[in-house]
A and B are shown apart, each in its own frame.
Chain A
Amino acid sequence: MTSLVAVLILTLFVIAFGAGLLYLVSLVGPKPKFSSLKDASYECGLPAQETGHSKIPVKFYLTAILFILFDIEIIFMYPWAISFVDFIENDMGLHVLLSMGFFLFVFIFGLIWEIKSRALEWE
């Protein structure tokens, strides 16, 4: 609990540090002068072709969804990993190993299915 308080304090300190720095810098520099060229969206020497938000390939959403599935499965392996040796010493090693084997089978099956269904192909 106390370490979480420390995390909160450090977070607030970093935010204050960054925001304070940005504010102080805005005081010392030259005053910004408006010009329509400076105000334009960045483009390599031409007038900007697409202004505003452009369309985003759906592929990125797919990657994000797949990531969430697999990441949760990996997080479930962590408590298993750190208590694995304890289980072996209490003669439950085979049971725990086979349970994780089944879990990994589902994981690997999912990964192979995902590759076969071309969800990970990028052109």
Chain B
Amino acid sequence: MGTDFFEISINFVKMVAIFLLMVQLVPALVWVERRGSAFIQNRFGPNRVGPLGLTQLLADAIKFIFKEEFIPSHTRKFLFYAAPVMSLIPGALAFGSIPLSLPFHVEAFELFGQTMGPYRFAFQSFEMNVGIVFVLGISSLGAYGMLTAGWASVNKYSVFGALRASAQMISYELALGLSIVGILMIYGTFDFADMIAYQTGPLTFTWLGSEMTIPFLPNWGIFYQPLGALLLFIAMFAETNRAPFDLPEAEAELVAGYHTEYGGLKMNMFYIGEYGHMMVASALMTTFYFGGYNLPFVEPETINEILLAAGFSATKASLLTSFTFFLVLFTKLLIFLWIFIWVRWTLPRFRYDQLMDLGWKKLLPWALGNTIVTAVVIFVMKTWS
């Protein structure tokens, strides 16, 4: 966390800020989802409250807060309250461990007559050298929130929603885990920052002993592992329980799935968890296959030098550079979040046996094949060069 009070407090503030960013993005995404779905279906969507219906979500939030807090007596009380809180944790922890931008440096300065030494702050809640393993481990804990909610509700719809959700989540976790083995072989690291550093510059690879460079393409993972990227993206949809894999909340069969008995803010917390999961999925896609916070053909040093030449101090220039690259990552994140929403309103829902077949009999063998082919190709290219 840090060595003195300044570093510890900045790290704590950063952590809280990233968590609140995640929570605050949810109303914005709900608005985009409602407006976007309306335009896809040739409707207007919310457009009465405020400009473009933007304050609709504020009105919804007030309604959530002032709703009657009724708990049916047949539920398991403690677990019933604990489940929404549990569903918040995995998204927050996983999102916190993904680097959102370059680390920024603070020069030494004087405070109360003491010299506070130069600092380096990562643009993420905490730096993990096992990055992806941590994210996979934490995000699979999301199943506990759903199972607890279903079990505590003592309602057949909730129980079956929770069971379906967890069975679907663990089935697709296999394909998810296996689809990134190929790209891990290429990067040779678990650390997100190292992966992003690998993806700088133009596309460069060794082909039959000679170095090839394609100057107009960035060195992104998608060009090395297009199949892996596709498999990861499909598995991510199932992991987040989004359409076309939203079987746990198939309303014709299961009412609302595991949160049938929930209402008001407690139900809203499940939504924050789901959208948090979507943000983690988008951030993972960006970090693995789309260069993370890299802007193609623009070096961070160039921006830093321009800012220094414009008369900013070293600390401010470093901070502004980090913020610029944060905006790059944020743009990529929003593109993926929009694809999540777009697909939901385009594709119909699968049947449950089709869903399990897709996970176990199609995605898993394809991911296996991808791993084997990648290993053999890397071996041949490295040995005969």
Whether chain B is bound by chain A comes out as yes
Report A's interface with B, CB cutoff 8 A. Answer: 2-3, 5-7, 9-11, 13-15, 17-19, 21-22, 25-26, 28-33, 38-42, 44, 50-54, 56, 60, 63-64, 67, 70-71, 74-75, 77-78, 81-86, 88-89, 93-94, 97, 100, 104, 107-108, 111, 115, 120-123
Contact between A25 and B93, CB atoms less than 8 A apart: no
Interface string of B342-366 (1 = CB under 8 A from A): 0000000000110011001100110
Contact between B154 and A32, CB atoms less than 8 A apart: no
Task: Assign chain B's interface to a size class.
Answer: 35 or more
Instruction: Give Cα A83–Cα B352 distance, bound, in whole angstroms.
Output: 38
CB of B108 within 8 Å of the partner chain: no
Contact between A84 and B185, CB atoms less than 8 A apart: yes
Contact between B67 and A29, CB atoms less than 8 A apart: yes
Contact between B378 and A13, CB atoms less than 8 A apart: no
Contact between B125 and A81, CB atoms less than 8 A apart: no
Given A6-B126, A28-B66, verify A54-B159 contact (CB < 8 Å).
Answer: yes
Contact between A88 and B378, CB atoms less than 8 A apart: yes
Contact between A63 and B167, CB atoms less than 8 A apart: yes
Interface string of B290-329 (1 = CB under 8 A from A): 0000000000000000000000000000000000000000
Could you say which residues of chain B place their CB within 8 Å of the CB of A13?
15-16, 19
CB of B156 within 8 Å of the partner chain: yes
CB of B375 within 8 Å of the partner chain: yes
Interface string of B43-76 (1 = CB under 8 A from A): 0000000000000000000001111111111100
Could you say which residues of chain B place their CB within 8 Å of the CB of A21?
265, 269
Contact between A60 and B84, CB atoms less than 8 A apart: no
CB of B280 within 8 Å of the partner chain: no
Contact between A18 and B352, CB atoms less than 8 A apart: no
Contact between A120 and B189, CB atoms less than 8 A apart: no
Contact between B365 and A60, CB atoms less than 8 A apart: no
Could you say which residues of chain A place their CB within 8 Å of the CB of B85?
14-15, 18-19, 22
The 10 nearest A-B residue pairs measured at CB: A18-B85, A6-B126, A122-B353, A67-B170, A81-B184, A3-B126, A32-B70, A74-B177, A88-B382, A81-B185
Contact between A22 and B185, CB atoms less than 8 A apart: no
Could you say which residues of chain A place their CB within 8 Å of the CB of B159?
53-54, 56
Contact between B188 and A82, CB atoms less than 8 A apart: yes
Instruction: Give Cα A94–Cα B360 distance, bound, in whole angstroms.
Output: 30
CB of B383 within 8 Å of the partner chain: yes
